[in-house]
Structure 1
């Protein structure tokens, strides 16, 4: 994927204000439906270098603070910073602890000093950043020499069953767009950080009916945020069309929803 393709995709991603508002509204309901987020984040924790012992870590896109608390329990003698663009998430997380500092901020322009963190941990947040190159540049700036950026994100192929089912109904974009995995490969290779690991791994969830999936996406704040998305309520006939179209994907376990998860471990030169 070339730079023009990457720039064109960035222009099609949701704007930050919409993301912040959507996730702020979802703060109270998020953890009740966040099994995928927990599973993916714990897998990322397992991929951290075994000898990692940070003095200061940053939970980037910290949300409800679930992994801030996990990081605080693992690195008991370190200082933690939880950072999120959604004020509602920070307000929810702050009383629960885990980090010493809770900061409103943008992954593309971190309000942190250079060479101030030994670990940046970010799970299922960076897919909402239009300029992933800027995210990597900021990680390079904020990490200390030998520091680690550990992230998960989503790439093309995520929720393809839902996307294809809606396409059969009205041809419109009802599902969020994500980068190609090749874009992550190119941007990480060009970042100046050493790529210790970068993989794309599918995670499949199953639902009895479509409405459980769409309810979960709304409760997560991760429903359709695309520019140019259809506005207004979805009519009953279109919903029935979606239900019928999605049935072609049914498996013995239920209706599948596939998430294409990117796992990345990068290190700043020592």
Structure 2
């Protein structure tokens, strides 16, 4: 098992800038994000009543507000690496604090939180072992770390279609599910549940998919991606390759989602 190298994932400043630019458009195209986050909420332990919680990678604050509604007696902190997302979320409420911070180096006191909730943010972290270490540090004994992320298999149709066109990296890279299993097992946190599920969305055409990825801030951020404009011939070749994936519902795009619920020993 090898952790993703820093040359495999985008620079965090680039990630922060991309998601900051997407703050205004994100909610309009976040169908998958809403569904995955709602599923993660449903997986929280039924008896959990955190006095202090974190929404890590809080984005536009949708799940900060959901957490505040579910745990009205708790005090919430929204943490995101993208200042633009925090500026967007702050007037909408939910959390009582909004903090710009990195999941690999949380600007929070040790043993200060009862719940860390993070939905579809941690796939951008190169050092997931550091994320788990920070969760262990920041959680109080008995505290819960619940996360959803993405693994290999995500956007596989788009990846395969580009492979038929050229050898460049056009689709973001993700960890193997086995890496999540190994890292969680070695984290010192108790693994209450860890699973991977495939979700498939359908699109009218390739333009709709790429527009949505850009609106989410999740278009290709990989190091080594081809620079400049994509030639017309290559775009036409990509369209032809992706069309071979079309089914009765449209053009499919697969998302391989990881759900994890871990707990620091009491």
Q: Indicate the TM-score class for this superposition, using the shorter chain for normalisation.
A: over 0.9
Q: For 1:13 and 1:94, locate their aligned partners in 2 and report how far apart those are by CA, in whole Å.
A: 28
**Aligned-pair CA distance for 1:102:** 0.2
Match of 1:162 among 153, 158, 165: 158
Whole-Å separation in 2 of the counterparts to 1:6 and 1:122: 20
1:111 alignment counterpart:
107
The residue that corresponds to 1:6 in the other structure is 3
Aligned to 2:136: 140
Alpha-carbon distance, 1:104 to partner: 0.2
In 2: Cα distance, 1:178 partner to 1:7 partner: 8
Q: Is 1:246 the counterpart of 2:239 in the alignment?
A: no
Structure 2 residue corresponding to 1:22, chosen from 15, 18, 35: 18
Report the alpha carbon displacement of residue 170 of structure 1 after superposing the two structures with TM.
Answer: 1.5
Is the Cα–Cα contact under 8 Å of residues 4 and 175 in structure 2 kept in the other structure? no
SS of equivalent residue, structure 1 residue 231 = coil
Q: Matched residues in 2 for 1:27 and 1:149: separation?
A: 25
Give TM-score, length-normalised by structure 1.
Answer: 0.97
| Aligned residue number for residue 230 of structure 1 | 226
Task: Tell me how far 1:263 sits from its aligned partner.
Answer: 0.2
CA distance in 2: counterparts of 1:11 and 1:241, whole angstroms = 28
Report which of the two has the higher share of helix: 1
Answering whether residue 47 of structure 2 is matched by residue 51 of structure 1, we say yes
Residues in 2 aligned to 1:222 and 1:43: alpha-carbon distance in whole angstroms = 21
List per-residue Cα deviations over 1:214-270 (Å, max 9, x = no partner).
000000000000011111111222111111000111110111000000000000000
Aligned-residue offset at 1:11: 3.2
RMSD after superposition: 0.7
Residue 92 of structure 1: aligned partner: 88
TM-score normalized by structure 2? 0.99
Task: Indicate the larger mover: 43-52 or 163-172.
Answer: 163-172
Structure 2 gap segments, 5+ residues each: none
Moved over 3 A (4+): none
- Alpha-carbon distance in 2 for matches of 1:75, 1:235: 51
Q: 1:7, CA displacement in angstroms?
A: 4.8
Instruction: Tell me the distance in 1 between the aligned counterparts of 2:235 and 2:33.
Output: 27
Does 1:127 pair with 2:123?
yes
Aligned residue among 207, 213, 217 for 1:211: 207
Q: Residues of 1 paired with 2:128 and 2:11: CA distance?
A: 13
Deviation (angstroms), 1:169: 1.1
Write the distance in 1 (CA, Å) between the matches of 2:9 and 2:146. Answer: 22
Aligned residues: 266
Q: How far apart, CA to CA, are the structure 2 residues paired with 1:38 and 1:167?
A: 30
**Which of these residues, 200, 204, 225, is aligned with residue 196 of structure 2?**
200
CA distance in 2, matches of 1:79, 1:232: 46
Task: Supply the distance in 1 between the matched residues of 2:11 and 2:24 (Cα, whole angstroms).
Answer: 22
